[in-house]
């Protein structure tokens, strides 16, 4: 008889608007305490990238950016503000594709995304025109996840996982989906090769992007507009927790058929 498995995802309420230098671990733990929930070993917190970037002071006003000649050239082609293009170039290892309205790059973290993950939505600075403010990705999202996890574990006394997600498009499907850009205390990949299936066939190629699967589920709960629920508490993750790195999720260039 097959074993019943249950996964619960609960949005965390009571979080204040996150500001530069806020202690996210403390904010999250206080919100959990206020909700009356008790944390358990194996729980995972999934965080929207925006609150991590805001706490790390990654907001930039475009009027403070001086575009390079290369940024001016690209901006003219893709029909975007040259100041934004300059930030995209600074945050990227390489520009991979361009067309009017779109620029696809390899981010410094190694993954491929549009606009180096720089975002306008739900971003408001404390001066100037709101349209001029953008938010960059964390400089090192794995490090960010580790710091938050260690803080939460100190406060709770439990073994936890933390994952940071962002919305990415995909080369072969329409629409965006939440994916992992940083994690700590949980697996990015789960390797099933060598295990047997229901009919005793030995799996040869099954490596599960468990972090991305969970990221998509958590993103569904968070929403994409004005929901205001940037943290999801996950209970029942079906794989053992371990330390890993988001780079495990990035396909190497030699095997990337879309480059």
Question: Is 225 a residue whose pLDDT tops 70?
Answer: no
Torsion of CA 68, 69, 75, 77, to 10 degrees: -160
2 lies in some domain: no
Q: Are residues 32 and 148 in the same domain?
A: yes
* pTM, 2 dp: 0.93
DSSP classification of residue 111: -
For the range 113-120, what are the long-range contacts, defined as Cβ-Cβ under 8 Å and sequence gap of 24 or more? 113/166, 113/168, 113/169, 114/168, 114/169, 115/84, 115/88, 116/87, 116/88, 116/91, 116/92, 117/49, 117/91, 117/166, 117/181, 118/84, 118/87, 118/88, 118/91, 119/50
Over residues 136-153, mean pLDDT = 98
**Token couple for 30:** 């206080």
DSSP classification of residue 90: H
Give me the pLDDT at residue 127, please.
66
Q: Are residues 107 and 143 in the same domain?
A: no
Residue recorded with tokens 């403390």: 26
Q: Are residues 160 and 245 in the same domain?
A: yes
Over residues 35-51, mean pLDDT = 94
> Domain containing 76: what range?
59-135
Count of structural domains within the chain: 2
C-alpha 7: how far from chain center: 20
Give me the pLDDT at residue 125, please.
72
Question: Is 14 a residue whose pLDDT tops 90?
Answer: no
Question: Is 115 a residue whose pLDDT tops 70?
Answer: yes
Q: Which of 129, 148, 127, 132 is nearest to 55 (CA)?
A: 148
Q: Are residues 160 and 214 in the same domain?
A: yes
Q: What is the DSSP string of 156-201?
A: H-S--EEEEEEEEEETTEEEEEEEEEEEESS-S-EE-TT-B-TTSP
Q: Are residues 199 and 211 in the same domain?
A: yes
Task: Report the CATH number that the domain containing residue 110 is assigned in CATH.
Answer: 3.90.1660.10
Q: Are residues 22 and 95 in the same domain?
A: no
Over residues 96-119, mean pLDDT = 94
Q: Are residues 97 and 224 in the same domain?
A: no
Tell me the sheet residues that pair with 60.
134
């Amino acid at each position: 008889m097959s074993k019943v498995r249950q996964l619960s995802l609960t949005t965390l309420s009571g979080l204040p608007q996150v500001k530069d230098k806020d202690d996210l671990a403390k904010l999250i733990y206080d919100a959990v305490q206020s909700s009356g929930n008790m944390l358990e070993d194996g729980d995972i917190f999934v965080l929207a990238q925006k609150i991590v970037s805001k706490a790390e002071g990654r907001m930039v006003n475009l009027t403070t950016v001086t575009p390079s000649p290369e940024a001016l050239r690209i901006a003219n082609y893709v029909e975007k503000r040259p100041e934004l293009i300059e930030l995209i170039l600074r945050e990227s290892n390489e520009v991979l594709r361009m067309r009017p309205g779109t620029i696809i790059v390899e981010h410094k973290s190694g993954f491929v995304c549009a606009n180096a993950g720089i975002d306008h939505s739900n971003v408001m600075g404390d001066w100037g025109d709101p349209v001029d403010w953008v938010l960059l990705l964390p400089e090192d999202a794995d490090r960010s996840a580790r710091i938050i996890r260690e803080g939460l574990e100190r406060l709770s006394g439990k073994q936890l996982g933390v994952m940071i997600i962002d919305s990415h498009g995909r080369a072969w499907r329409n629409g965006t989906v939440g994916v992992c850009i940083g994690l700590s205390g949980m697996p990015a990949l789960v390797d099933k090769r060598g295990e047997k299936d229901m009919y005793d066939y030995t799996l040869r190629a099954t490596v599960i992007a468990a972090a991305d699967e969970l990221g998509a589920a958590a993103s569904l709960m968070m929403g994409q507009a004005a929901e205001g629920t940037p943290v999801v508490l996950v209970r029942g993750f079906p794989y053992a927790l371990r330390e890993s790195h988001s780079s495990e999720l990035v396909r190497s260039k030699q095997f990337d058929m879309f480059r």
